[in-house]
Amino acid sequence: MLTRAHSSLVLVATLLSAGCASSGEPGGPSRSRNLITQDELMAVPHSTVYEAVRALRPRWLQARAGATFQSREPQTARVYIDGQLRGELGEMWSLLPTEVNEIRFMSASDATTRFGTNHIGGAIVITTRRR
């Protein structure tokens, strides 16, 4: 009986220590849910920024529920390139990953604070190497 209790205790301790372990590689870069770095873009071979975002952070492309005076339809994020509003998600199809320094997602509240109203879906802010 003591051996069984000891075995159970060892199993519980092992499971607890595994739950506390880091999921990343030692010394490796941490991955932010709201930022795609140039290193991440270069590590994944995609021909457009849209494809890279779809592979790395697919949630950024999902429509968010919310109603505006103009529409009751779910809204997608608005795209900004080098601080200028470019429009909808389709703008990322024409941009190459090699042209980008970073891509940042902003929540609806953060995007509204920075850019003004009509950001129910948030904002995807792209900083290019040209800047």
Is 50 exceeded by the pLDDT of residue 10? no
pTM of the model: 0.72
The whole-angstrom separation of Cα 77 and Cα 58 is 12
Q: What percent of the chain has pLDDT over 90?
A: 63
CA atoms of 25 and 8, how far apart (whole Å): 30
Q: What angle do CA 44, 47, 51 make, to 5 degrees?
A: 70
User: What DSSP character marks residue 129?
Assistant: T
Res. 22 pLDDT band, cuts 50 70 90: very low
pLDDT digits 0-9 by tens, 63-87: 987 655 555 667 999 999 999 999 9
Tokens read off for 81: 């390139």
- State the Cα–Cα distance between residues 123 and 126, nearest whole angstrom: 10
What is the spatial order of strands in the sheet that 78-81 belongs to?
A: 35-37, 100-106, 123-128, 78-81, 84-87
CB atoms closer than 10 angstroms to residue 60: 23
Tell the residue number behind the tokens 């601080």, with chain if given: 83
Average pLDDT over residues 42-67: 91
Q: What is the pLDDT of residue 20?
A: 41
Tens of pLDDT, residue by residue over 90-106, are 999 999 999 999 999 99
On the 0-12 / 13-18 / 19+ scale of CB atoms within 10 A, 115 is: middle
Instruction: Return the CATH class of domain 32-128.
Output: mainly beta
- Write down the pLDDT at residue 15: 42
pLDDT exceeds 50 at position 28: no
Question: Where in the chain are the domains?
Answer: 32-128
